[in-house]
Amino acid sequence: MEKLYFYKIGPCALATQAFIPLEFSGAAYRFGHSMVRSQYRFNRVFPADDFRLAFTFTGDGGFRGGLRYPTNWLLDGSAFFPGLGVEPQMANAIDASMSDQLMIGGDPAATPPVKGVALARLNLLRGSPHYKLPIGQAVAARMSKPLLTKTQLESGTGGAVVKKFNIGRHTPLWFYLLKEAEIKAGGEHLGPAGAAIVAEVFVGLLKDDPESLLNNPPTTVLPSIDGKFKINDLFNFVEKHKGQSNIPAAGVINPLGLP
């Protein structure tokens, strides 16, 4: 991406230093929420459990007080990345549907249980009343991207919501970009407007950082088959050296073993 059309920094732009646009943080980059599954295979001890265990297994804010990491929390890497011997779990499609487990706050263990707030609702509240983001149609038009029709927005996932609240012509940006991904890309990746926002912000930040790989390319040659070093290459490289140095004998891909 040689030229940035929307994310601009400099004397002729509105911004003179690196920044995070609200359209990115409050809408476009929240596309990942729709990809979260209700359950995951974490390891052989937790073969099909609530996705919220991921927060527990990764510290939920950090491990403090010298606590020892429980061995049954070790993740099975092959369940999350391809090329590690087992077919990995796939993320949900990018669309306007979300797992009903995506709640913020609350305490289901309390008596009586305290229900949290749906993350989808919080995203919509952040976008309009708080961040005052423009509607999706306005952003797409400003970026000269093809607009979704009212009929398209009223179809598929979330279509009933669009009809119920009559937002087919003035759609919240976050919701609009999810529908754009569903309709224009079959849910496999972001649509034209959403992809441009996310890609330009990342590239713009990297271009502005003198220490980034775009301005200071690494010279290290890493082992791989096709000239690309991916996360599964890292796993496999370390796995070949298990039991050596400080690499555990059980390896790092699936230290707890198969189910």
- Residue spans per domain, the chain: 22-197
Q: Extract long-range pairs of 228-237: CB within 8 Å, 24+ residues apart.
A: 230/83, 231/81, 232/81, 232/82, 232/83, 232/84, 233/83, 235/77, 235/81, 235/84, 236/83, 236/84
Tell me if residue 104 falls in helix, strand or coil: strand
* Residue that the structure tokens 């891909």 belong to: 253
What mean pLDDT, rounded, does the chain reach?
A: 88
CA distance 231 to 228: 10
Dump pLDDT digits (tens) for 53-74: 888 887 766 666 667 778 898 8
Q: What is the 3-state secondary structure (H, E, C) of 55-97?
A: HHHCCCCCCCCCCCCCHHHCCCHHHCCCCCCCCCCCCCCCCCC
Instruction: Report the SS3 class of residue 40.
Output: strand
More confident residue, 256 or 186: 186
pLDDT for 25 equals: 96
pLDDT value of position 246: 85
Global confidence as pTM: 0.87
Q: Check whether 114 has a pLDDT greater than 70.
A: no
Q: In this model, does residue 203 exceed pLDDT 80?
A: yes
